[in-house]
């Protein structure tokens, strides 16, 4: 097995007396999609925030073989980590293209900026059609695409997505998950937090189930899809589309 790209061990995040993440250990192999499932309040967002460095945590974090606990967020971005938060956090009064320019500001002076922008237009043709439109006027699905494209402008090795399907129609979710698979095929590793367990386990290589801040189950996604506890808690209700 190749060395993990991301390795998290014994991670804890607290908000005052609330322990949101307790002794969590996960790894993401290069080129893998790893999903984190779990109910509301399980600690999924806090886990991503700690990995990205926007939240304080205890425990060990290693990226591409190097310890990163003491690295600031900016340094983690420069190293190749990127987080698309659940709220998508776009610059709503700026155009689609200007949002992407900001995502790629580190590259703007370099010659591959134009190539990266072109690649985004290929991955997200809907965004290309709307390149001059104000981000605040995009649909929910288009906003999610723009948030992902903006993150990708920094050329990450690891893309962390917090509930990319939240509030989106099934057809758009399918589109977004197809793009996530394409990104993995192009060599980007993905850490995917999802409420849509069925879709996430179909896409992912490996999964963890987080409950009350702790990992209660983990395994290859194919095995989790067959696990009775996962079926009962997360896959019990079949969606209309299946
Ligand atoms: P959801 O799916 O609802 O987004 P989650 O699994 O991402 O949930 P977190 O958002 O990480 O869970 O929250 C984990 C726990 O930490 C919850 O009990 C939550 O109330 C608490 N928590 C999160 N953020 C804060 C905060 N800023 N201050 C205090 N408690 C917080």
Angle at 203 between CA 202 and CA 207, to 5 degrees: 85
Asked if residue 106 has pLDDT above 80, the reply is: no
| Among candidate residues 134, 188, 123, 121, the one with its CA nearest the CA of residue 161 | 188
Whole-angstrom distance, CA of residue 37 vs CA of residue 196: 8
Whole-angstrom distance, CA of residue 69 vs CA of residue 84: 20
User: Which pTM value belongs to this model?
Assistant: 0.92
Asked if residue 143 has pLDDT above 50, the reply is: yes
Average pLDDT rounded to a whole number, residues 131-144: 94
Q: How many residues does the chain have?
A: 242
Residues 6+ apart with CB under 8 A from 2: 29, 30
Note the pLDDT tens digit of each residue in 157-180.
999 999 999 889 888 899 999 999
Note the pLDDT tens digit of each residue in 174-228.
999 999 999 999 999 999 999 889 999 999 999 999 999 999 999 999 999 999 8
- By alpha-carbon position, which residue is closest to atom 14 of ligand 1? 43
Whole-angstrom distance, CA of residue 187 vs CA of residue 102: 23
User: How high does pLDDT run on average in the chain?
Assistant: 91
Whole-angstrom distance, CA of residue 198 vs CA of residue 142: 22
Q: Is 54 in the pocket of ligand 1 (CB under 6 A)?
A: no
Distances (CA, A) of 231 to 31, 37, 161, 209, 227: 27, 12, 23, 12, 6
- Structure confidence at residue 107 (pLDDT): 57
Task: Count CB atoms within 10 A of the CB of residue 171.
Answer: 10
Could you tell me how many helices (H) and strands (E) the chain has, helices first?
Answer: 10, 10
Q: Is 46 in the pocket of ligand 1 (CB under 6 A)?
A: yes
- Structure confidence at residue 87 (pLDDT): 79
- By alpha-carbon position, which residue is closest to atom 28 of ligand 1? 15
- By alpha-carbon position, which residue is closest to atom 16 of ligand 1? 20
Give the nearest ligand 1 atom to 213 CA.
Answer: 14
Q: Is 41 in the pocket of ligand 1 (CB under 6 A)?
A: yes
């Amino acid at each position: 097995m190749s060395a993990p790209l991301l390795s998290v061990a014994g991670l804890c995040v607290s908000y005052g007396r609330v322990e949101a993440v307790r002794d969590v250990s996960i790894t993401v192999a290069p080129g893998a999609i790893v999903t984190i499932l779990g109910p509301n309040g399980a600690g999924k967002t806090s886990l991503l925030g700690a990995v990205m460095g926007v939240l304080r945590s205890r425990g060990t974090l290693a990226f591409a073989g190097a310890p990163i606990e003491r690295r600031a967020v900016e340094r983690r971005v420069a190293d190749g980590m990127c987080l698309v938060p659940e709220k998508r956090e776009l610059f709503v009064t700026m155009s689609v293209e200007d949002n992407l320019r900001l995502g790629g500001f580190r590259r703007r002076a370099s010659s591959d900026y134009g190539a990266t922008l072109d690649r985004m237009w290929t991955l997200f043709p809907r965004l290309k059609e709307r390149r001059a439109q104000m981000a605040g006027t995009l649909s929910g699905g288009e906003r999610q695409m723009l948030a992902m494209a903006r993150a990708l402008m920094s050329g990450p090795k690891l893309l962390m997505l917090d509930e990319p399907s939240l509030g989106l129609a099934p057809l758009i979710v399918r589109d977004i998950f197809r793009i996530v698979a394409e990104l993995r095929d192009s060599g980007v590793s993905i850490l995917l937090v999802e409420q849509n367990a069925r879709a996430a386990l179909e896409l992912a290589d490996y999964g963890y189930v987080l409950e009350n801040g702790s990992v209660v189950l983990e395994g290859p996604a194919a095995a989790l899809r067959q696990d009775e506890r996962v079926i009962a808690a997360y896959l019990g209700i079949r969606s209309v589309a299946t």
